[in-house]
Amino acid sequence: MLKVENLRAGYGAINVLWDVSLNFPLGELTAIIGPNGAGKSTLLKAVMGLVPTTQGSVSLDGYPLTDRATWDMASLGLALIPEGRMVFRDMTVEENLTMGAFPKPHRAALGRNLERVFGLFPKLRERRRQLAGSLSGGEAQMLAMGRGLMSEPRVLLIDEPSLGLAPVIVREIFDILRGLKQQGVTIVLVEQNTRMALGLADGVYLMRAGRVILAERAAAVDIDRLHDLYFAREGAAGDVADAVFK
Amino acid sequence: MFELILQALYSGLLVGGVYALIALGLALTFGTMRVINLAHGELVLLAAYMAYVVESRLQLNPVFAVPLAVLVACTCSALVYLLVDRIRKNRELNSLMLTFAIGIIITNAVLLIFSGDVRSTGSPFMQDAVQLGPLFSMKSELGAFVVSLVLVLALWQWLSRSWYGRAVRAVSSNRDAAKLMGINPAKTELISFIVAGALAACAGVALYSSSVVHPPLGHALTVKAFIITVLAGVGSVPGVLAAALLLGVTEAMTVTLWSSALQELVGMTLFLVVLLVLPNGLFGSAKRRG
């Protein structure tokens, strides 16, 4: 279980997450949905140590992660696939992927994983010698994803993989996520495309304004109620702040 | 007249190779740490005086000073890193003051120990003339150029093939993403400063062997390295090499066709013109930021 407990985090004087607690069972795909500014991306970054936390803890199978440096996470089996803008623009596609295998234990399998990623994203093989800065938005997103898979993570955090992409590519990316889930990878998916996320997820969290306002099994989600909460419509119960899967 | 221009072109290219070594070190540390090391030229100066020490005290060819020069310049470079790393507030500005001060301290220490006299190699072997077709140079000038080119190529290979070389580029390109890949940026920054120190050491020995050195040289070299990095506009090795050769040739042409008093002025003018006309440098394309 990847466990987030009472986490408070933010950027300097601006606090974003207000004591959020979430559980991510191993082997499952958990979706985090919510409007812009809900703190979804900040949560993923805080788990990886990219955003400083002021309170609370993160642990993986009881092993504390809160005080570990971001660069230790890859060796511990965690990977964050950030938005496509975070590729190494001045490096080629292949060099970007190679950096995904930087931690020493992963270097031996570099060739095999490169082939695997090129198999998943044939477009990247075509563009392997091209600078990442010259890729289209969709290609950069695929590159960010491929790079994250190069370390064969046990736990994969993904930030809005469908953002700004054509529906065909979004479907492709969701197919790949389904495949990873079948291989037993634990996935935390931050996504604005609620319907697609629900189709794939085992559990769902809804966040708004830095708090968790709903936690439910995906199969049990009432879409209308979810949307009411999502858009903070009048009359919707929005104070289940401590909702957590047990 | 034509021979004269050709000769100036040749001499400029030779010294440009050494400039490239110095500028690449500056670009490397700027890339990883986003800090301009204003004491970088002084590292070259220190190395040059190590060559002077080895030649004058041990009666050895200055080339044998390379290990000592590398040791001294790398140690100083690492110290600069450790001091800059301690700056927590407003690092861009405060690091300029810190490294500028370190440069002044080094220059004055050199002045105190070695006096302000102009030094250069006394080795007849190094000062021998070599002829390449109609072009003349000292053996040491040609040697310095060849060694510089080899080192530039080696650096290029290191940056594109080795794990830590690529890590240096990754940190320069996107620091947060590099952390996610398992790269420790602090370690990478230290490595970039040590590599920059080693390049500066070789440049210092090369300058002592092929030219003259005196205490104010360090500051002048920092300025040249800075001009070259801005001219290149990108952190790419070929871009910096080309800009360094261009500066070397421009300076040599000025000396030949005009006056040696204007040598520094022309470099600065080139710098200002490029900044005004091509703000992204000669080889930098307009980059989207954000």
Q: Is A149 on the interface with B (CB under 8 A)?
A: no
- Looking at the complex, does the CB of residue B177 fall below 8 Å from at least one CB of chain A? yes
In chain B, the residue whose alpha carbon lies closest to the alpha carbon of A103 is B182
Q: Is residue A152 part of a domain?
A: no
Predicted pLDDT at A218: 84
> Using one digit for the tens of pLDDT, what is the confidence trace for A85-116?
899 999 999 999 999 999 999 999 999 999 99
Q: What percent of chain B has pLDDT above 70?
A: 97
A198 touches chain B (CB under 8 A): no
Question: Alpha carbon of B104 to those of A90, B43, B108, B125: distances in Å?
Answer: 35, 11, 6, 34
A137 Cβ under 8 Å from any chain B Cβ: no
Could you tell me if B163 lies within 8 Å of chain A, comparing CB atoms? yes
pLDDT exceeds 70 at position A149: yes
Domain assignment of residue A26, yes or no: yes
Distance from CA of B161 to the nearest CA of A (A): 9
Interface A–B counts its CB contacts (< 8 A) at 73
Question: Residues B214, B219, B221, CA angle at the centre, nearest 5°?
Answer: 85
Sign of CA dihedral B189, B190, B194, B200: positive
Residue A102 has its nearest CB partner, among B167, B234, B290, at B167
Quick check: is A94 in a domain? Answer: no
The verdict on residue A221 lying in a domain is yes
Q: What is the pLDDT of residue B146?
A: 95
B133 touches chain A (CB under 8 A): no
Touching check for A103 and chain B: CB below 8 Å? yes
Contact A86 B174 (CB under 8 A): yes
Q: Which of A42, A90, A113 to mutate to test the interface with B (most CBs of B within 10 A)?
A: A90
B179 at A interface, C-beta within 8 A: yes
Cα–Cα distances in Å, from A221 out to A32, A101, A201, A209? 13, 38, 11, 21
Pairing of strands A186-190, A155-159: parallel
Query: pLDDT value at position B288?
Result: 38
Asked if the structure places residue A179 within a domain, the reply is: no
Query: How far from chain centre, in Å, is Cα A221?
Result: 21
| pLDDT at residue B128 is higher than 90 | no
Residues for chain B: how many in total?
290
Tell me if B182 and A72 make a contact (CB, 8 A cut-off): yes
Half-sphere exposure of B199 toward its Cβ, with a 13 Å CA cutoff? 31
Residue A224 falls inside a structural domain = yes
Q: How far is A98 from chain B (nearest CA, A)?
A: 9
The Cα of B32 is separated from the nearest Cα of chain A by a number of Å equal to 13
CATH of the domain at A25: 3.40.50.300
CB contacts of B167 in chain A (<8 Å) are 99, 102
Q: Is residue A130 in some structural domain?
A: no
Instruction: Tell which B residues from 228 to 257 touch A, by Cβ distance under 8 Å.
Output: 234-235
Burial label, B259 (beta-carbon count in 10 A; 0-12, 13-18, 19+): exposed
Overall residue count recorded for chain A in this entry: 246
Residue range B31-46, pLDDT digits in tens: 999 899 999 999 999 9
| pLDDT band at residue A166 using 50, 70 and 90 as cut-offs | confident
- Look at residues B45, B201, B38, B40 and name the one whose alpha carbon lies nearest to residue B109: B45
Distances (CA, A) of B136 to A157, B132, B142, B266: 63, 6, 9, 24
What's the whole-number mean pLDDT along residues B260-270? 85
Tokens of A70: 């971001």
Strand partners, A190: A32, A159
Select the residue of A71, A82, A86 nearest B183 (Cβ to Cβ): A71
As a whole number of angstroms, the distance between CA B277 and CA B56 comes to 47
- Could you give the C-alpha distances from B15 to A99, B217, B261, in angstroms and in order? 36, 14, 18
Question: What's chain B's average pLDDT?
Answer: 91
User: What is the per-residue pLDDT for B289?
Assistant: 37
Return d(Cα A49, Cα A110) in angstroms, integer: 25
Q: How many domains does chain A have?
A: 1
* pTM for the structure as a whole: 0.90
Contact B170 A99 (CB under 8 A): yes
Top mean pLDDT of A3-12, A157-166, B69-78 is at B69-78
Q: How far is CA B90 from the centre of its chain?
A: 26
Lowest mean pLDDT among A27-36, A158-167, B12-21: A158-167
When pLDDT is cut at 50, 70 and 90, the band that residue B123 belongs to is confident
Q: A90 and B180 in contact by Cβ < 8 A?
A: no
Asked whether the predicted pLDDT for residue A240 surpasses 50, the reply is no
Closest chain B residue to the Cα of A152, Cα to Cα: B181
The residue with greater pLDDT, A169 or B290, is: A169
- Mean pLDDT, rounded, for A53-57: 93
pLDDT of residue A85: 82
Predicted local confidence at residue A246, as pLDDT: 42
Give the C-alpha separation, A221 to A49, whole Å: 31
> Residue A201 domain-assigned?
yes
Note which residues in 41-100 of chain A have CB less than 8 A from chain B: 48, 50, 69-75, 79-80, 82, 85-91, 95, 98-100
**Which residue shows structure tokens 């072009």?**
B135
Smallest Cβ distance to B182: which of A88, A89, A103? A103
Q: What percent of chain A has pLDDT over 90?
A: 68
* DSSP strand pairing (A155-159 vs A78-81): parallel
State how far the Cα of B33 lies from the Cα of B189, in Å rounded to an integer.
6
Task: Give the per-residue pLDDT at A233.
Answer: 67
**Taking Cα atoms as reference points, which of B52, B19, B54, B21 lies closest to residue B195?**
B21
B85 is written with which tokens? 């790393």
pLDDT band at B11 (very low <50, low <70, confident <90, very high): very high
Residues B125, B139 contacting (CB under 8 angstroms):
yes
User: Mutate which of B89, B169, B180 to test chain A, going by most A C-beta atoms within 10 A?
Assistant: B180
Report CA dihedral (A149, A152, A154, A157) to the nearest 10 degrees. Answer: -20
What domain range includes position A21?
1-77+193-246
The alpha carbon of B140 is separated from its chain's Cα centroid by a whole number of angstroms, namely 18
| Strands A211-217 and A203-208, sheet pairing | antiparallel
Q: Strand, helix or coil at B131?
A: strand
